[in-house]
Structure 1
Amino acid sequence: MSQHTAAHPVPALRRVVVTGSAGFIGSHLSRALIQSGTKVVGVDRRDPGTDATAGANLARLRERPEYVHITADLRDCSIEPLLIDADVIFHLAGVPGVRPSWGPRFGDYLSSNVLATHRVLEACSRIGTPRVVVASSSSVYGPTDGAASAETDRLAPASPYAVTKLAEEQLCLAHSGKLGGPSVVALRYFTVYGPRQRSDMFIHRALQAALTGQPLRLYGDGHQRRDFTYIDDAVTATIAAGAIPAAHGPINVGGGATASLLEIINIANGLVGRDIQLEYDHAHSGDVITTRADLGRAHKVLGWQPLVDLHSGMRAHLEDLASQHPSLSRAA
């Protein structure tokens, strides 16, 4: 696990709620919190008893007495009982993905990312939850000129998903400004990767293609650049955002450097010793050319900086993927 930098020692959290706890970031966050002595109430609409991905993500958490899992949908469940005596709610629940947000599924994005968040914030105000950390996204920036995006930059979301994430963080910040509202930190995550990353994400797909020899579908020419953030670094920043009293408003969480999709493929080739076969497809609407995080505010406010480089992070991701699927061979 990455360690927090020394600029701002992070106070221990006593009891928290993590929504979306059966997801990629949520499950890693929940585990890190209980390892630090925090009691965690995890909330997710996916039942780990019937949903394979949720069950795998929570496999080592559910046996821990410090973790309590609640299967509930924030769009219609009673939220106040979940928040009783919580120091922080880490609100990570929501529907992800740029491409599926176009078309008929937009209603689910709207209800899950915006309307459910409104219910969470209303409950926080009624019960007096002091701090909310909400998962936002680098997608709120939209197309850029390639320079690092700062929290004060103009926002121009280029997909329905990005529109809902911006609405979500703005809704949370609006609630924080009203009397009795919680203090809010909106973390703009830049392409988080690592063990248990969603199977539709590019690094996961590239590593799986390298392991199996199956072709990799590449949307666009592969020169798109992303700021890739290793999961341990993202978790460390998230915990700091919940614990440091001075934290407020939007904060970027990035990996500290960018890489093109073709560079990711080359790293995967080198790690496995097999050249990935590519199948080219057209770029999708809403996929921007470059994402890059200005991390000045994260360092100043949270005392945080990313510590895991891309090669090391992809190696750890690969080892986990291979361990979960012993039948996959690295041999060419």
Structure 2
Amino acid sequence: MHYLLTGTAGFIGFHLARRLLEEGHRVTGFDGMTPYYNLRLKEARHAALAQFPAFRPVIGMLEDQRVLESTLEQGVPDVIIHLAAQAGVRYSLENPKAYLDSNLVGSWNVLELAKNAGVSHLMLASTSSVYGANDKIPFGESDKADEPLTFYAASKKAMELMAHSYSHLYRLPTTAFRFFTVYGPWGRPDMALFKFVKAMLEDEEIEIYGEGLMSRDFTYIDDLVSGIIALSRIAPNESNRVTAAGVCDTLSHQAPFRVVNIGGGQPVGLMDFVKTIEKVLGKPARRKMLPMQQGDVPRTYASPDLLMALTGRKPEIGLEEGVSAFIDWYVDHRAALQL
């Protein structure tokens, strides 16, 4: 199949593109190469993908509709997977316009592209942040998600709503998948695991927010990629509406549109996360305890029931295995990429 992926120089987009290429698919990768973090890391990801003859990169910003439309010059893709976004919860407090431009205007351009191309399935990367500080746990896809705590979360929820309208108006099969604290090799430098490992190897303090009382439903990157690919084969329609007892399907009654969590439903306390890193590295962390930052949520906790009902699987790679894989990658690449 031919996949169009946005964000292939990003953490998740790189891993997804590589898996699809390894499986023999053709991938057109669109990325803006923005300097939000270390460009060497982004360039190295694209260089690794360029080793596959079936990979075609297109460099441009989502806001530039003309450049985005150029991705169709070598054929209409079967599936579009929209991963590119301005990421980062805390950065949205400093530069909200970046989220408006990329996550709203850019995502609308992707909707227009998918509509005009008539693709068989559009997939959109959303986030657990849309649940805000929801008191009900685990977070189910049909739970209340209209009290975002950051503009990042608001932009992602708005993207979901825009996509539902396009799905209804143009009968565009669309899946929005919400992921939960993704980590692993080639990860983002602004994420906790990357920051903690870097600081510990350099004998610096690690900053632990929320006095260490927060918890996260960590998802290893390989599990997330497997979930995305499995869902890509299940374009929403009435024939695959889930009717299993105890599972609430989010398939819209107005459109071929569905929202699905990709998370394992096994939240880990922040201090247990730190202890796991200490165990794998074989050295203690110097801890600096700090209050919760503005926009942070106390916990994330996915219900994987709908994902299980649709695909027969959920994320299962354990934290110690995933942390070990990240540390091995980091040690091997820190010098070359100046991490």
Same fold (TM over 0.5): yes
1:211 shift after superposition? 2.5
The structure 2 residue matched to 1:235, chosen from 208, 225, 234, is 225
User: Would you say the 8 A contact 2:120–2:235 is kept in 1?
Assistant: no
CA distance in 2, matches of 1:257, 1:211: 28
Q: Where does residue 282 of structure 1 map in the other structure?
A: 291
Deviations 1:25-70 (A, max 9, x none): 000000000001110000001189x931211222311121010111
Q: Where does residue 69 of structure 2 map in the other structure?
A: 80
CA distance in 2, matches of 1:174, 1:47: 29
1:62-211 equivalence runs, <5 A = 62-78=50-66, 79-83=68-72, 84-103=75-94, 105-145=95-135, 147-155=137-145, 156-179=147-170, 181-211=171-201
Unaligned 5+ segments in structure 2 are 241-256
Deviations 1:226-260 (A, max 9, x none): 00000000001111121223474110011331111
Q: Which residue identity is paired with 2:294?
A: S
1:297 shift after superposition? 0.4
Q: Where does residue 330 of structure 1 map in the other structure?
A: none
Question: What is the SS of the residue equivalent to 1:177?
Answer: helix
1:107 shift after superposition? 1.0
Q: Which residue identity is paired with 1:185?
A: T
User: Would you say the 8 A contact 2:209–2:289 is kept in 1?
Assistant: yes
Please state if 1:53 is matched with 2:41: yes
Deviations 1:103-124 (A, max 9, x none): 4x11110110011111111121
Deviations 1:160-186 (A, max 9, x none): 11000101111112211113x421110
User: Would you say the 8 A contact 1:146–1:291 is kept in 2?
Assistant: no
Q: Where does residue 249 of structure 2 map in the other structure?
A: none
CA distance in 1, matches of 2:207, 2:284: 14
CA distance in 2, matches of 1:267, 1:300: 31
Q: Which residue identity is paired with 1:317?
A: F
1:151 shift after superposition? 0.3
Runs of 4+ with >6 A deviation = none
User: Would you say the 8 A contact 1:97–1:161 is kept in 2?
Assistant: yes
User: Under a length normalisation based on structure 1, what TM-score does the superposition of the two structures give?
Assistant: 0.89
1:326 shift after superposition? 5.8
Deviations 1:261-310 (A, max 9, x none): 11111011111111111123332111000100000000111222112111
Q: Where does residue 306 of structure 2 map in the other structure?
A: 297
Question: What is the SS of the residue equivalent to 2:169?
Answer: coil
Question: What is the SS of the residue equivalent to 1:145?
Answer: coil
The structure 1 residue matched to 2:7, chosen from 10, 16, 20, is 20
CA distance in 2, matches of 1:108, 1:272: 36
The structure 1 residue matched to 2:270, chosen from 261, 267, 271, is 261
Q: Where does residue 33 of structure 1 map in the other structure?
A: 20
CA distance in 1, matches of 2:172, 2:285: 48
Question: What is the SS of the residue equivalent to 1:220?
Answer: helix
CA distance in 1, matches of 2:327, 2:214: 22
CA distance in 1, matches of 2:320, 2:188: 19
1:315 shift after superposition? 0.8
The structure 1 residue matched to 2:282, chosen from 265, 270, 273, is 273
1:146 shift after superposition? 6.0
Question: What is the SS of the residue equivalent to 2:211?
Answer: coil
RMSD over aligned Cα atoms: 1.8
Q: Where does residue 250 of structure 2 map in the other structure?
A: none
CA distance in 1, matches of 2:2, 2:222: 21
User: Would you say the 8 A contact 1:137–1:165 is kept in 2?
Assistant: yes
CA distance in 1, matches of 2:330, 2:195: 11
User: Under a length normalisation based on structure 2, what TM-score does the superposition of the two structures give?
Assistant: 0.87
Unaligned 5+ segments in structure 1 are 1-13, 328-332
Number of residue pairs matched? 311
CA distance in 2, matches of 1:110, 1:76: 14
